[in-house]
Amino acid sequence: MISGFKYLPEYLDRDEQEALLDELRVNIQKSPLFNPQMPGTGKPFSVKMTNFGSLGWVSDKDQGYRYQSIHPITGNPWLPIPETLLKLWEKITGYPVLPECCLLNYYHNEKSKMGLHRDEDEEEMLAPVLSLSLGDTAVFRLGGLTRKGPSNFIKLASGDIVVLGGEARKAYHGVDRILHGSSQLLKHGGRINLTMRRVTTP
């Protein structure tokens, strides 16, 4: 396993997951899910997303991958990152500055997945990335520093947390598939992934 990768299974119990989910539902009503597009082709992602924090990650046909301060549909600023998530960041990462972005990806059907990629749109690459899973189990792929390197596979269940820090911060990773029906947390099934990032250099 690549150095700097941390796996914390069952970090949040069921009550903590449900409390966080209730807060997320309220926030999503104000900052709704949208379908990002691949740069150039305009092909929609297979996941829906929204963001919390001073900056949000978006992608569209014309301007590509980027961070911006407003929701691409409503034009409103993103809502703040929930305090529960900020406390997790402080407790787990050890990074001295709070994240500016919490990207929410919603894997809503059997076709939803995330291809092998690196998180490299951030200016600050020394800060780790913290990821929390809610809902159905995901088959997570962790590769190496090159796209063609060997991969490890981990089933991330509801309440699990992973951290990509150190060498793993630049590792290729993705979600091969969602094991639908593996959790009863979300009423209609699917998986929510919350990923916190520091975008700018402090």
Give the pLDDT of residue 62: 87
User: In 3-state terms, the chain is what percent helix, strand and coil (to 5)?
Assistant: 15, 35, 50
pTM here? Answer: 0.93
Do 147 and 133 form a contact (C-beta atoms < 8 A)? no
Contact 66, 59 (CB under 8 A): yes
| pLDDT confidence of residue 79 | 97
Question: What string of pLDDT tens digits covers the 202 residues of the chain?
Answer: 788 999 999 999 999 999 999 999 999 999 999 999 988 898 888 999 999 999 999 999 888 899 999 999 999 999 999 999 999 999 999 999 999 999 999 998 878 888 888 988 999 999 999 999 999 999 999 988 888 888 899 999 999 999 999 999 999 999 999 999 999 999 889 999 999 999 999 8
**What's residue 110's pLDDT?**
78
Q: What SS3 class is residue 115? A: strand
**Residue 146, strand partner residues:** none
Cα–chain-centroid distance for residue 142? Answer: 14
Q: Evaluate whether 25 touches 166 at the Cβ level (below 8 Å).
A: no
Q: What is the pLDDT of residue 2?
A: 86
Structural class in CATH, domain 5-197: mainly beta
- Give the model's pLDDT for residue 170: 92
166: alpha, beta or left, given left = phi > 0 and alpha = psi -120 to 50? Answer: left
HSE-CB of 180 using CA atoms within 13 angstroms: 12
Q: How far apart are CA 166 and CA 159, in angstroms?
A: 23
**Torsion-angle region of 157 (φ positive above 0: left; ψ -120 to 50: alpha; else: beta):** beta
Provide the pLDDT for residue 146: 87
Instruction: Report d(CA 141, CA 177) in Å as an integer.
Output: 10
Cα 69 from Cα 191, distance rounded (Å): 25
Q: Could you say which DSSP state residue 126 is in?
A: S
The residues, ordered by sequence, that sit 6+ positions from 75 with a Cβ below 8 Å of its Cβ are none
User: What does the alpha-carbon distance between residue 99 and residue 200 come to, in Å, rounded to a whole number?
Assistant: 9
